[in-house]
Amino acid sequence: MTVLTSPSNRSMRISHAALLTLTVAALACGGKSATNEAALPVVLGAADVAVVAMADIGPSVVVSGVLDPVDVIRVRAQVAGTLRELAVDRGAKVSRGQVLGRIEAQGVTSGAEGAKANVASAEAALAVAQQRLDGAKKLFAAGAMSAIDFKTAQAGYDAGVAQVAAARAASASASEAAGRTNLKSPIDGWVSDRVAESGESVKAEDPVFTVVDPRTLELKGQVGAVDAAHVHVGQAVAFTLDAMPGQEFKGTVARVDPVASAATRQVGVFAHLPNGSGKVVAGQFAHGRIRTGATNKAVVVPVNAVRTGEKESYVLVVDGAVVRRRPVVTGARNEDTGVIAITSGLKAGERVVITAGVEMADGTKVSTAKEK
């Protein structure tokens, strides 16, 4: 017996409904035949009856989409050259700053070495200019050097300082370019793709690796503007995956777009799912139920178990070997799970008839049979 209605049971339910309709109709027939039929109970299959349960229920909004890692970074070549020493492949775990491969670019590395040599040369020239200036100061103080010669020595020193500064700046730039020959991981994560092999030529901006961090997954969905007014950052989200039926995962709303799409008039909603254990594989299609109001424990039944009379709502309760018509008061309804809260009239553990379109009088005899 089940609380929820599943699409796979629809055809079975139709056959049950037809059987129950025929049986109940026979009870209304007159004559001896009707008397004989009245003594026979109506047979209820397992798909015709649901057990009343306690469950969380409250207003919600559903978003659907693909679960992707929040951090997806493409590691690209920043200089032109030949790929060498690619140390990792798809599926490898990497850490921030780890060298994933190297680009052989002789012009870049030679430029860095030349820039370092220029720094050394400029520093040596500055040392000579410093010695000359020190000597000039002594001579000028003793009256043995003219003012113009002293100023020339001072200018030589100042020029040396400027040359060192320029050489160091050029060296830093060249060293930075040389550092770009190393392909490094920008985050802790896993390599999800490698699109090149050692020995291949690359130019700047060519992709080589993709590194992802699947420890936090993101569902990007859209909701109508009316629903979006009730969605806020931090609200709880219950995730279900098509590939993992029967399991539910907990997350939260991370962001909500401030404006609706001009094309669809819908609002983007981004929900995050913590995945530190790695149980959920990224790239799966998922549904996220955002709880937009207070969620409470309540007695719930499938929506199609509740029937509407002239003055009240009621259910057909299987009470031992008979059916009892019982008035109920309904509460919150969850369209996503297909259940409705019963605030009065039922308690958990009771059984109700859920076959739609079939009526039975109060006191109708029934028996339950297991479906094969």
What tokens appear for 20 in the block?
Answer: 């129950």
CA nearest to 356, candidates 16, 92, 6, 2: 16
On whether the CB atoms of residues 346 and 56 are closer than 8 A, the answer is no
Detail the DSSP E strand segments found in 172-235.
182-184, 189-194, 201-202, 207-224
Question: How distant, in Å, are the alpha carbons of 88, 176, 200 from that of 196?
Answer: 11, 24, 7
Residue 276: Cβ-neighbour burial (10 angstroms; 0-12, 13-18, 19+): exposed
Helical residues (DSSP H) of the chain, grouped into ranges: 10-28, 31-38, 106-141, 147-179, 225-228
β-pairing, 244-256 with 207-224?
A: unpaired
pLDDT of residue 331: 82
Q: Which parts of the chain sit beneath pLDDT 70?
A: 1-39, 294, 335-336, 357, 370-372
Coil/strand/helix, residue 316: strand
pLDDT of residue 370: 61
Mean pLDDT of the chain: 86
Question: How distant, in Å, are the alpha carbons of 17, 287, 327 from that of 42?
Answer: 11, 39, 22
Compute the C-alpha angle 290/291/297, nearest 5°: 140
Angle between helical axes of 31-38 and 10-28 (0-180°, round to 10): 130
Yes or no: domain 7-58+296-369 corresponds to CATH 2.40.420.20 = yes
Torsion sign (Cα): 296, 301, 307, 313: negative
The whole-angstrom separation of Cα 222 and Cα 224 is 7
Q: In terms of pTM, does the model score above 0.75? A: no
pLDDT of residue 108: 87
Would you list the domain boundaries of the chain?
Answer: 7-58+296-369, 60-71+214-291, 72-184
Residue 103 bridge partners (DSSP): 83
Fold held by 60-71+214-291: Elongation Factor Tu (Ef-tu); domain 3 (2.40.30)
pLDDT of residue 154: 94
Largest CA distance in the chain: 147
pLDDT of residue 27: 46
